[in-house]
A and B are shown apart, each in its own frame.
Chain A
Amino acid sequence: QVQLVESGGGVVQPGRSLRLSCAASGLILSTYGMHWVRQAPGKGLEWVAGISFHGRDKYYADSVQGRFTISRDNSKNTLYLQMSSLRAEDTAVYYCAREMSSSWMFDYWGQGTLVTVSS
């Protein structure tokens, strides 16, 4: 059974950094592209970043470009999102999601981890 479990969320002050993790079980992470999607409280979904199965290709939304870094450790079956220079508008539930067949569509999602940026 495929499971994605995010961790690392919490309350952080503006301008600080935070690293999210997404641990996968029931699948070999190295064979899939992976993504982060976030959802601000009461708002819609926003794609944040994506990474190819081998990790060489990385893509970012304009809103996080230069501040967030997506990475993966296939030996640990884990996806990461390093977030720096955090802003209040980054407050959201962050989901990791598995990309199906290099199609930019997501067939498995984690339960999400809440990041709150506040002083």
Chain B
Amino acid sequence: QSALTQPASVSGSPGQSITISCTGTSSDLGGYNYVSWYQQHPGKAPKLMIYDVNNRPSGVSNRFSGSKSGNTASLTISGLQPEDEADYYCSSFRSGHTLVFGGGTKLTVL
């Protein structure tokens, strides 16, 4: 089960916006809207940031937004803040009733 494809790292300065891409196939990202994004700080459990492509759970800042086009999903973080520095993972339901994660993207706030 190959993972979804994410860039290994992205960076941005405080106040800037960044976008993390996540590429899959028609069997996962392209075929379903069960796409989510997780934030993980070192030594901590992942935290759900976006679900169903572009929905934010209660309590998540509106600086986080998601989108999808074809087989690629994206997470955009606007107004970067130092506390946004973390690893980010996308995930998608995949046909056959499995779940696949992306390889993860390390966000550095310069």
Contacts and interface: CB of A to CB of B under 8 A. Distances in A.
A binds B: yes
Interface in A6-39: 35, 37
B99 A104 contact: yes
B45 A104 contact: no
A44 B48 contact: no
Interface string A83-119: 0000000000001000010011111011110000000
Interface string A57-100: 10111110000000000000000000000000000000100001
Contact of B97 (A46, A59, A62): A59
Q: Interface residue tally of chain A, by bracket?
A: 20 to 34
A106 B98 contact: no
Contact of A107 (B3, B48, B97, B103): B48
B57 A107 contact: yes
Nearest to A107: B48
A46 B104 CA distance: 11
A50 B99 contact: yes
Contact of A63 (B1, B51, B97, B102): B1
By Cβ-Cβ distance, the 9 closest A-B pairs, closest first, are: A47-B99, A109-B45, A44-B104, A105-B36, A104-B93, A105-B51, A45-B101, A59-B97, A104-B34
